[in-house]
Amino acid sequence: MIRILLADDHPIFRYGLRAVLASDPDMELVGEAGSGEEAVELTRGLRPDVVLMDISMPGLNGVEATHRILQESPGTNILIVTMYDDSASVLAALKAGARGYVIKGADREELLRAVRAAAAGQTLLSPAAAQHLTGQITKARPAGQPFPELTAREHDILDLLAAGYTNPAIAERAGLSSKTVRNYISTILAKLGAASRAEAISRARAAGLGGTRS
């Protein structure tokens, strides 16, 4: 029996996943979380085999929650199930330790196959996620650029952070929404393994970033 914890802030989507999981006799839903913080807390108490984790949740996002859960329970397997279909999200999730990445809208068989793979400690990516990962691996980066794990956009945002820009100022300068900037910063912290914004800024400045202030 695969014991599963579901973490998503949309009750209707949780309802749909609950029905899919109930259709497989080898899977048992042991708990549901509506936020990243709740997912961390419930995993600590329930010790599920697999956590189905959304990325965008209020407070602690899914990437950060994945990182925290695996620090406490490295034997837990986390499968990201999200609407985010972009390279930054895929890489951040995998770097945080997620076993797989499935785009919302996947059919029943794809989702159950991904759950079984995660429970077995295997990695399974949806076709779109695998394509993003391949593209990032093959993308050439400037020689000697610090933090090669970051995408070009993430590198630019880290540079602005190191230069002392606030989130609203970064959003204005980069032509992004404030929420998108927050998500980028969360991803950057996860990729760098930085415990805080201040730590990321300190490391960026030590690497020579932060010269963009005008």
Ramachandran sector of residue 99 (left: φ over 0; alpha: ψ -120 to 50; beta: rest): alpha
Q: What is the pLDDT of residues 114-167, one digit of tens each?
A: 999 999 988 888 777 776 565 555 454 455 678 888 888 888 899 999 999 999
**Whole-angstrom Cα distance, residue 165 to residue 132?**
29
Domains of the chain with bracketed CATH: 2-134 (3.40.50.2300), 152-206 (1.10.10.10)
pLDDT of residue 172: 87
Interatomic CA distance for residues 23 and 17, integer angstroms: 10
Neighbours of 212 (CB within 10 A): 14
Say yes or no to pLDDT of 80 above 60.
yes
Q: Which residue has the higher pLDDT, 133 or 4?
A: 4
Kindly report the number of other CB atoms within 10 A of residue 180's CB atom: 15
What number of other Cβ atoms are within 10 A of residue 191's Cβ?
22
Q: What is the pTM of this model?
A: 0.63
Question: Could you say which DSSP state residue 12 is in?
Answer: H
Does the structure show a pLDDT above 90 at 15? yes
